[in-house]
């Protein structure tokens, strides 16, 4: 009889321990979630699943364009750099359409100002003036930084 009681209390002990661990884990999990949302204070654009990949691939093209422009500038190929600025960063009908799809006026305004700065960069590169071009490039890149700090998908 005594043996049975020892077995039963050991069993209860183990179950109790498991329940305690599970509760602890759940709390950790909730803490973790809490931390994550506290850390990311950017405004969500509520981008639809279909649009997400489209937007990200567009963004990867933006960073590619910047890289090409810097490389071409270093080889004094201003004409080519200017073309990339206008076609990849400027206010093309495609970019305008893309920015207009978002349901957030401030984001739209920021996006369109960014593309306008892409055209300004194209114009600056056209003058072949390194300093003016770098200045315009810096302005365009400030939009990348500003928008990424404020918004997420």
Binding residues for ligand HEC (CB under 6 A): 45, 56, 59-60, 62-63, 66, 107, 110-111, 114, 140-141, 143-144, 147-148, 151-153
Cα–Cα distance for residue pair 14/21, rounded to 1 Å: 11
Task: Please identify, using beta-carbon distances, which residue of 19 and 63 lies nearer to ligand HEC.
Answer: 63
Residue 111 Cβ vs ligand HEC, minimum distance, rounded to whole Å: 4
- Give the C-alpha separation, 95 to 88, whole Å: 9
Q: Which is nearer to ligand HEC, 107 or 130 (CB)?
A: 107
Distances (CA, A) of 110 to 24, 73, 77: 44, 26, 29
Count of beta carbons in the 10 Å neighbourhood of residue 109: 11
* The two structure tokens encoding residue 133: 């071009």
User: Minimum CB separation from ligand HEC for residue 89, in Å?
Assistant: 6
| Closer residue to ligand HEC (CB): 26 or 152 | 152
């Amino acid at each position: 009889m005594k043996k049975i009681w020892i077995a039963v209390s050991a069993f209860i002990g183990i179950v109790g321990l498991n329940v305690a661990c599970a509760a602890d884990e759940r709390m950790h999990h909730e803490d973790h979630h809490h931390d994550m949302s506290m850390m990311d204070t950017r405004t969500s654009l509520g981008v639809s699943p279909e649009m997400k990949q489209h937007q990200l691939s567009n963004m990867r093209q933006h960073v590619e364009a910047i890289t090409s422009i810097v490389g071409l500038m270093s080889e004094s190929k201003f004409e080519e750099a200017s073309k990339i600025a206008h076609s990849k960063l400027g206010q093309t009908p495609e970019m305008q359409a893309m920015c207009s799809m978002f349901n957030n006026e401030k984001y739209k305004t920021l996006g369109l100002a960014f593309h306008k700065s892409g055209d300004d960069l194209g114009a600056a590169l056209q003058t072949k003036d390194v300093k003016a071009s770098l200045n315009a490039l810096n302005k365009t890149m400030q939009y990348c930084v500003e928008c990424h700090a404020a918004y997420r998908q």
